[in-house]
Amino acid sequence: MLRLYQFAASPYCAKVRKILDYKGVAYEVVEVDYVDRALLLAASGQIMVPALTLEDGRTIVDSDQIANHLDELYPEPTIFPPDWSGIHVALARYFDTELEDALFRAAIPDLINHYRRRGPAHEALWRLIRERKYGSGFCDEMVREHVARFARVSRMLAPLDATLANRGFLLGRIGYADFALYGQLTYLAVSGEVKIPAELHHLRAFFFRMDRITASIDDDRVMPPDPAGTPSPPPENG
Ligand SMILES: N[C@@H](CCC(=O)N[C@@H](CS)C(=O)NCC(=O)O)C(=O)O
């Protein structure tokens, strides 16, 4: 069985989990302790997640690399629809960089609480790593600016909400960009409550639609109704 090393709050790990679910590949999750990454280091030779141990015993890292490997190893159903692969990759790159940066900043109060619940050493190390990267005082600054940071995220997400008004997935048929967007949106669910703004109801419906993907999706291609009562467009229309 495949083994996924993850941090529960990592958007890149959420992307990989959902791709595995979509492909119906069985896997087990190893929740890596933020302050003791010995198991991850032993398996992958480095200390970042996601890392995935394959059936042949190799462990691969980086969600893009993992996605490509999984599509080669388990080609059906593909996450790179023929002729649409390039645009999926380009969109996913934007979600995993620029959109990630904005969502991460908006999620900082919830991320601090997430790591605080795991203990003072977890919170302290998490903050230290962020402040080394973004400068001292960064985390508290993001907490103070939370309203503005959240408003910026809403503005960035609005065109995606509009895109999803008439289709189930970003480019019609489900593909890599949908998995990347879903992963990044999990930043807005770190607290357990889904905080995608209510006015972005197509995007909220998309999130729940992706959330419900299990190995059974490819068997019948039928989605259960969206929780908000929004009728689901057919999963494939393009
Ligand atoms: N480009 C990588 C990014 C992975 C990444 O940034 N992982 C974060 C968790 S979201 C991590 O392991 N950070 C190390 C740390 O927080 O110490 C990917 O797509 O997998």
Residues 122 and 54 in one domain: no
For 124-145, what is each residue's pLDDT tens digit?
A: 999 999 999 999 999 999 999 9
Assess whether the C-beta atom of 184 lies below 6 angstroms from ligand 1.
no
* 235 found inside a domain: no
Would the pLDDT of 218 be above 90? no
How far lies 112's CA from each of 16, 102, 163, in Å? 23, 16, 32
Instruction: Check whether residue 112 and residue 215 sit in a common domain.
Output: yes
Check pocket membership of 100 for ligand 1, CB cut-off 6 A: no
CA atoms within 13 A on the CB side of 66: 28
In a domain, 186, yes or no: yes
pTM: 0.91
Share of the chain above pLDDT 90, in %: 89
pLDDT, mean over the chain: 92
Q: With bands split at pLDDT 50, 70 and 90, how would you rate the model's confidence at 227?
A: very low
User: Model confidence over 19-32: pLDDT tens digits?
Assistant: 999 999 999 999 99
Structural domain for 102, as ranges: 85-220
- 212 within a domain of the structure (yes/no): yes
Does the CB atom of residue 14 touch ligand 1 within 6 A?
no
pLDDT recorded at residue 215: 56
Residues 151 and 112 in one domain: yes
CATH number (domain holding residue 69): 3.40.30.10
Atom of ligand 1 nearest to the CA of 96: 19
Residue nearest to atom 15 of ligand 1 (CA): 48
Does residue 111 have a pLDDT over 60? yes
CB-ligand 1 contact for 64 (6 Å cutoff): yes
* Per-residue pLDDT tens digits for 172-200: 999 999 999 999 999 999 999 999 999 99
pLDDT at 214: 81
Residues 213 and 162 in one domain: yes
Reported as a pLDDT band with limits 50, 70 and 90, residue 55 is: very high
The structural domain count of the chain equals 2
Contact 185, 102 (CB under 8 A): no
| Residue 52 near residue 8, CB atoms below 8 Å | no
User: Which structure tokens are listed for 140?
Assistant: 């508290």
